[in-house]
Amino acid sequence: MAILVVAEHENGAVAPATLNTVAAAAKIGGDIHVLVAGQNVGGVAEAAAKIAGVAKVLVADNAAYAHALPENVAPLVAELGKGCSHVLAPATTNGKNILPRVAALLDVDQISEIIAVESVDTFKRPIYAGNAIATVQSSAAVKVITVRTTGFDAVAAEGGSAAVEAVGSVHDAGKSAFVGEELAKSDRPELTAAKIVVSGGRGMGNGDNFKHLYALADKLGAAVGASRAAVDAGFVPNDMQVGQTGKIVAPQLYIAVGISGAIQHLAGMKDSKVIVAINKDEEAPIFQVADYGLVADLFEAVPELEKLV
Amino acid sequence: MKVLVAVKRVVDYNVKVRVKADNSGVDLANVKMSMNPFCEIAVEEAVRLKEKGVATEIVAVAVGPTAAQEQLRTALALGADRAILVETADELNSLAVAKALKAVVDKEQPQLVILGKQAIDSDNNQTGQMLAALTGYAQGTFASKVEVAGDKLNVTREIDGGLQTVALNLPAIVTTDLRLNEPRYASLPNIMKAKKKPLETVTPDALGVSTASTTKTLKVEAPAARSAGIKVKSVAELVEKLKNEAKVI
């Protein structure tokens, strides 16, 4: 039986999270089918067919699937997933929106945000904001799973040559409509895919002071994130939040600036390879997880760091 | 309109949980329990809708142990009109909770159901979406703004790239994100008044709901600990370490 992977895509391109999800599918083992649902997604389907290890790409190209409205996409995924052993999606806001709806339509539990595959039916996932790791076994006929992308190294985006097959069925529930979106525009790398992340917390004082972090990030080729405190205070928009309920990141280098290190923030970044903390409070909990801690005034340390790197 | 709001009893968000020595779960003995923070936001949003004259009645629902009455009383103190406890001693998975809520929705016929986007214990982020699937209603998850406009509900959602707004037919399901509102505290007179508000108890059996699960937890372990590193004395030393020791820049 095949494993169905629901592709994440944006602006006509396959999103990196899809590659991590295919990697999780490869660990489970089986034919990997990738579903590309959307409108005018022929290019995405062609790109998905090149992903290493993919056997087949199913493309559902219809206006009903534009903007990935769950009322329309979930019945499609449930229909295609019925005959599969597993249905996987990345644990992005999109995957989290759609997949539980699919699981309920299939009358099975969903297993959320797996970080490891133990066997075909057994998985590891964090609970309690990452303060405990549960090993769970599923007896469901179809195992519906979201994948924490930081748990799996991406497969190659090139090298495969899967067949592309059109899916005719159209589900249009007519219960919801897309009104609009405000997307953050940035030339910097995407937060969850960046090799280096520079994040600011409440210690930044205000949104304007984030300019110091942007300057440092641009020099390092880094993405910029923020703690929940900084987002709640209105310094920066929600899409920058790193933490248990924001984005989960695991870059090569994470630089936490003016962040105290609340549990829910640590849950979003503690799997980073190297963590640097810059904070003037030497008792800040962030230093307990930092490889390199610098007790200093960030307004002096960050500009100096920018000069020296 | 009638609004149903779901609340879950969870370990208080300030508690640092510990894994039990036998790896069977997390030690919850003598630990402070509270309403899940995202559920507090859900209750607050329902109360604000009532204050605006949009909501006419707020029914708080919990699916959980007898002690979850405490969290329902909190919801009543915050402004819910009455409460329903679907009582079960078993720890239910999200699908079973969604099925219990569906049975309550069938009975109560609310126009809007508001839930937290996830509980801070299981971190599943599933129940609202599952309830939407079971009822066939539209869903507005991770909401940062909710507006009733005629027979539609406009929901602004926090998504990875920024914000997205969708228009949903009513009845609809909404799950709350952090920026939807700042929950109030219950006042002492309201806490006293809440003790007299109606709280009905039913069982999943009486609702005809199956609590069967397809998932079994085999073990629960503490995560790999990350040891503290070193303190550097200067920015220059930091840069030197990052270049030559960690080799990440």
CB-based contacts of B30, cutoff 8 Å, min separation 6: none
Tell me if A145 sits within 8 A of A81, measured CB to CB: no
Q: What is the pLDDT of residue A304?
A: 98
* Residue pLDDT, tens place only, B59-75: 999 999 999 999 999 99
Give the count of beta carbons closer than 10 Å to the beta carbon of residue B184.
Answer: 14
Phi, psi of A207, rounded to the nearest 5 degrees: -65, -35
Average pLDDT over residues B213-231: 92
Residue A186's pLDDT band, with cuts at 50, 70 and 90, is: confident
Of A125, A185, A132, which Cα lies nearest the Cα of A150? A125
Q: What is the pLDDT of residue A185?
A: 85
* Residue pLDDT, tens place only, B86-140: 999 999 999 999 999 999 999 999 999 999 999 999 999 999 999 999 999 999 9
Q: What is the pLDDT of residue B69?
A: 98
The larger pLDDT score, comparing residue A185 to residue B43, is at: B43
Residue A38's pLDDT band, with cuts at 50, 70 and 90, is: very high
Average pLDDT over residues A89-109: 98
A239/B139 touch (CB, cutoff 8 Å), yes or no: no
Please determine, for residue B225, whether its predicted confidence score (pLDDT) is greater than 90: no
* Residue pLDDT, tens place only, A120-142: 999 999 999 999 999 999 999 99
Per the prediction, chain A carries an average pLDDT of: 96
- CA pair distance B54, B35, nearest whole angstrom: 25
Please determine, for residue A245, whether its predicted confidence score (pLDDT) is greater than 90: no
Please tell me the pTM assigned to this model.
Answer: 0.95
Which of A71, A105, A109 lies closest to B93 in CB terms? Answer: A109
Q: How far is the first Cα of chain B from the last one, in angstroms, to the nearest whole number?
A: 57
Per the prediction, chain B carries an average pLDDT of: 96
Of B6, B90, B82, B72, which Cα lies nearest the Cα of B34? B72
A127/B139 touch (CB, cutoff 8 Å), yes or no: no
Q: Which residues of A touch B118 (CB under 8 A)?
A: 245
- CA pair distance B138, B167, nearest whole angstrom: 9
Interface predicted TM-score of the whole assembly (ipTM), two decimals:
0.95
Q: What is the pLDDT of residue B226?
A: 84
* Residue pLDDT, tens place only, A269-287: 999 999 999 999 999 999 9
Q: What is the pLDDT of residue A146?
A: 98
The proportion of chain B whose per-residue pLDDT surpasses 90, expressed as a percent, equals: 96
Residue ranges of B 94-153 with Cβ closer than 8 A to chain A: 94-95, 98, 117-118, 120-134, 136-139, 141-142, 144
Q: Does B39 touch chain A (CB under 8 A)?
A: no
Q: What is the pLDDT of residue A253?
A: 98
A138/B215 touch (CB, cutoff 8 Å), yes or no: yes
